[in-house]
Structure 1
Amino acid sequence: MSARHFLSLMDCTPQELLGLIRRGIELKNLRNRGVLFEPLKNRVLGMIFEKASTRTRLSFEAGMIQLGGQAIFLSPRDTQLGRGEPISDCAIVMSRMLDAVMIRTFAHSTLSEFAAHSRVPVINGLSDDLHPCQLLADMQTFFEQRGSIQGKTVAWIGDGNNMCNSYIEAAQQFDFQLRVACPEGYEPNAKFLAQAGDRVTIVRDPREAVAGAHLVSTDVWTSMGQEEETAKRLALFKPYQVNRALLDLAATDVLFLHCLPAHRGEEISEDLLDDPRSVAWDQAENRLHAQKALLEFLVEPAYHHA
């Protein structure tokens, strides 16, 4: 049987995604109660990092350990991927030794090609196109605090980056309206916009985007690999800073999310993460719980082989 992969939110049905979120909440509860739950004993996750990471590495590594398994961290210096071994060869060999592979990379094609040749599940830990695991955590956070997001309005403020693309997919899968406020020339990928149809609206004015919104999210203005554009971006994105005054235009029960790391004084005001409407710390923690639900869902439990 060919393995299930998670390269995008579109790899699951809306029902499966809701199931993952509910399961993430259950696993969080088990951990908070100190219950030992180890369905992935003797299972090993390989983690390939071409891009640096704090939350992705910690959450996947801790998650596997808490589920009774182990995780192996591979930096670009530790694999042949960076030295010209074809991705397909790498995938064939690694998937014979591991039970799942998480990849954090630049080109999304690296993931697709690896998955095409892997006999075990491949998980997108971030690519230049998408960041689906972060969206699982975001959706779990909203669900915990406010219940179903179906029919609600979400505002994305800032760069039409990989996070924005994943929000566009989430709008389709979780059935909400998304308004994206970005400067001209920084729109999300046209391919994702086309798929989403009238679920997504692009506006230039952040105030228009957040008006009555139930969830407001943003990200850094300069993503990894764009450092040389920093000065230009700072000037261009200045009107897109999310601050308390902007949030005041949203729904009274609005939640603010930020996938972190945050650059205070840039995409958010200095004080925004301390605002009671911000749930960014819960959101960060939920990477752990949502991904544990994902790992449990994708990786065959040890007792199947007993």
Structure 2
Amino acid sequence: MENIFYGKSFLKEIDFTREELLYLIDFAAHLKELKQKNISHRYLEGKNIALLFEKTSTRTRAAFTTAAIDLGAHPEYLGKNDIQLGKKESVEDTAKVLGSMFDGIEYRGFSQKAVEALAEFSGVPVWNGLTDEWHPTQMLADFLTIKEHFGKLEGLTLAYVGDGRNNVAHSLLITSAILGVTISIVTPEELFPEKSLIDLADKCAKQSQAKILVTADIDQGVAGADIIYTDVWVSMGEEAGFKERIDLLLPYQVNQNLMAKTKKTDTIFLHCLPAFHDLATEVGEEIKEKYGLTEMEVTDEVFRSNQALQFQQAENRMHTIKAMMAATLGELFIPKV
């Protein structure tokens, strides 16, 4: 049977069907089991992978590196000082050069247009490790974590609480709608996602029977949620807006009071990390000094609770990225989905 993923890029979730995303999630669970049993799965033996990072990263870089090595590939890291996308060399020219030397390219940076141009001109699979608009590899890890915990995805309710305009909120909205997970984006009106994005989610939700809610009302937004998800209040490059975001989002902090508003005892907490839940970071100390806060988007109590699965979620970045790379670049037998 032909591998329907082979040669495809992974740029944003909307490019894939519900069945395809579920296949990648289940394939990741299989590869995770192989890794835990120390069974070799070198589907990309002898391949070379370029890792382009305009934005810094811990989990994405570590996940792509370990995933590539486990699959038998050689990862080559190219940081912002190594690549000149659009500065001294056009994205098109860079794509053609890298595509002639590497078998696959990961890009983590600012521009969705840049990652799409890399895919158009390189001639090899390109994987979006994060842009300002989308964070698709994070979604595979998130929904693998949810499926591992609940044993299913359909029929669950996820409430994302925080900045509704960032890439994680965008991706959660669309991916939930595709997969049939009911989702609330709980955020101040000033931070509502663009209407075009909500319309796209509604269109996907009609097919999957998911429900979509975008609301500033916390009680309404988190009621009945199986999953509470949050992210940092200020994304990379927006640090000048810290004060404004704190004023807007402090009422949306995920604390035990907010968790209790779900009216469920088995609600889990997710966070894509890094999280400002204590004072063990320089940024945390600066925020305390400037604004008097010791915790930001999530309290230390929730972050360290048994309900919090963010470290399982972080590990799953590697397993899901591995599944994505193996499926799009490896010679696999994949039944039709």
Residue 213 in 1 paired to residue 225 in 2?
yes
CA deviations 1:89-121 (Å, max 9, x no partner) are: 111111111111110011211111221112111
Match status 1:135 vs 2:130: no
Where does residue 292 of structure 2 map in the other structure? none
Which of 19, 25, 41 pairs up with 1:21? 25
Does the alignment pair 1:165 with 2:170? yes
Which moves more between the two structures, 146-155 or 121-130?
146-155
1:177 paired residue among 175, 178, 182: 182
Does the Cα contact within 8 Å between 2:157 and 2:224 map onto a contact in 1? Answer: yes
Give how far 1:189 is off: 2.9
Alignment: residue pair count: 303
Residue of structure 2 equivalent to 1:76: 80
**Residue in structure 1 matched with residue 235 of structure 2 by the alignment:** 223
Post-superposition offset of 1:257? 0.5
Which residue of structure 2 aligns with residue 123 of structure 1?
127
CA RMSD of aligned residues (A): 1.7
Pair 1:238 & 2:243 matched:
no
**Corresponding residue of 1:155:** 159
C-alpha contact 1:5 1:11 (8 A) present in aligned 2: no
Residues 194-203 or 16-25, more deviating: 194-203
Matched, 1:51 2:55: yes
Aligned letter for 1:146?
F
When normalised by structure 1's length, the TM-score is 0.95
Give the secondary-structure state (helix, strand or coil) at the position aligned to 1:266: coil
> Hey, what does 1:36 align to over in structure 2?
40
**2:201 corresponding residue in structure 1:** 196
Q: In 2, are the aligned partners of 1:76 and 1:82 still within 8 Å (CA)?
A: no
Aligned counterparts of 1:27 and 1:156: Cα–Cα separation in 2: 28
Q: Which moved more, 1:166-175 or 1:54-63?
A: 166-175
Task: Give structure 2 stretches of 5+ with no counterpart.
Answer: 206-210, 278-294, 333-337
Q: Counterpart of 2:272?
A: 259
In the alignment, the residues of structure 1 paired with residue 233 and residue 127 of structure 2 have an alpha-carbon distance, to the nearest angstrom, of 25
Q: In structure 1, what is the Cα distance between the partners aligned to 2:86 and 2:61? A: 19
Residues 177, 212 of structure 2: 8 Å contact kept: no
Secondary structure of the structure 2 residue equivalent to 1:5: coil
Structure 1 stretches (4+) deviating beyond 6 angstroms? none
Paired position in structure 2 for 1:293:
323
Range that drifts further, 132-141 or 142-151: 142-151
CA-to-aligned-CA distance 1:4-23 (integer Å, 9 cap, x gap): 11111122221111111111
Identity percentage of aligned residues: 36
